[in-house]
Structure 1
């Protein structure tokens, strides 16, 4: 079963694979982020590539029927802006840039992380058996869910984003990018919660293959504000970066 079942006219039925680790009725932000990215691509002007997406997460996305909208808000010769939304829960603003073929010499850093040797490691306890954590495959090169501090994890979708469709490269990176704060937590999960209120993803290029790597580190201020910073890679090298602003507080 996929993360979403298409109902037509921009409506989707959420499945239990979207479920986040804490609330049985709410989604992990990765699947709806990817669903909005898919909507952005559906209205993108020809020849333009998505290079930046900023998500505002107003409230948890429920596991329910969702309506997705998208529209081009500005279009120039080289740059376009697209807005997409799952109201009233989550909105996305996307920047697109016209892409050519071999216009300039490529200058990218070398491959520094490798899937070879990465291993599956135990997840922290959750209240349910099926969800995002079972619909995704995780392999760690550094750190783990149960260790504090920076971590490097490779993620792959076990399920399609939308039933009957092969996930595209943008969907593969967006469904994973929201996990940066989850793999690099700095506090005891049993005592503190850390919720991201936004997500911004910058992409130099879209990933090649099924695996997306997150090299993540979280910083937390005593005022209860955090920042999760993530370098994004595929097996050919860096593809971009993501960041999440965090609300951090003791559990009640």
Structure 2
């Protein structure tokens, strides 16, 4: 199968989304993972801390992002040499914001007084010992689920309940440049509520209105993963949380607030 080489192609004033950004609800709308990674890329380019680390990413999803041209703009809300807050907004067509990222960034330095906290690895098995699987609920064959190679130590894309998954990129984020591990993490993490769905995709909508990612260190290596669970509130809302990890161990957590209703 021939797949686009990237999630986005650069244009004169922004980026053009390829078919690999298509989400599960509508073939004309993007999955939120690719634009989340694109917003991160823009925030890091706009920040003033050279070589800094992004430790918290808070996304607000105001409306679905169409598959097509998008534009981004950034501002440093709180400048600083050690800590900064960068805000990036994504628009398409008119100037109405569709997604917004608020990213806290910090300088990076070795800290011999505070070594990493040892902890068991969250994954039950590594990617080489996990089951390869493709999501069966996308309406088009070339869509977001093809952008990453998915491997499941536990659970499934296509059955309800908690799940854990490893992923590695099959494409770049922006044509002509490699996808960084943190960009890869953001492409993946918005799918936490998809792999741990508690409702049938054909009978219910459970779209997230936000995504929060908190990291104690940056991801490293070719494979990153998540161990996700969705909790239904019984009142039209739900929450999905996930532990995020790479081959060396846990790197942080994510949370999503879900709007739930019958389709």
TM-score, normalization by structure 2:
0.91
Q: Equivalent of 2:63, from 59, 62, 66?
A: 59
Match in the other structure for 2:44: 41
Q: Deviations over 1:194-249 (max 9, x none)?
A: 00000001111121112111100000111110000010000110011111000011
**Alpha-carbon distance, 1:83 to partner:** 0.3
Aligned CA-pair RMSD: 1.3
Match in the other structure for 2:116: 106
Is it true that 1:139 corresponds to 2:151 in the alignment?
A: yes
Q: Secondary structure at the match of 1:3?
A: strand
Match in the other structure for 1:29: 32
Match in the other structure for 2:105: 96
TM-score, normalization by structure 1:
0.95
**Alpha-carbon distance, 1:122 to partner:** 4.3
How do 1:201-240 residues align onto structure 2 when only pairs under 5 Å count?
A: 201-240=213-252
Instruction: Give aligned pairs, total.
Output: 250
Q: Secondary structure at the match of 1:23?
A: coil
**Within 2, Cα distance between the matches of 1:135 and 1:175?**
9
CA contact (8 A) 2:134 2:150 kept: no
CA contact (8 A) 1:142 1:152 kept: yes
**Within 2, Cα distance between the matches of 1:157 and 1:184?**
20
CA contact (8 A) 1:148 1:186 kept: yes
Q: Secondary structure at the match of 2:211?
A: strand
Q: Secondary structure at the match of 1:116?
A: helix
**Within 2, Cα distance between the matches of 1:241 and 1:166?**
24
CA contact (8 A) 2:56 2:215 kept: yes
**Within 2, Cα distance between the matches of 1:69 and 1:211?**
30
**Within 1, Cα distance between the matches of 2:200 and 2:24?**
15
Gaps of 5+ in 2: 92-96
**Alpha-carbon distance, 1:191 to partner:** 1.4
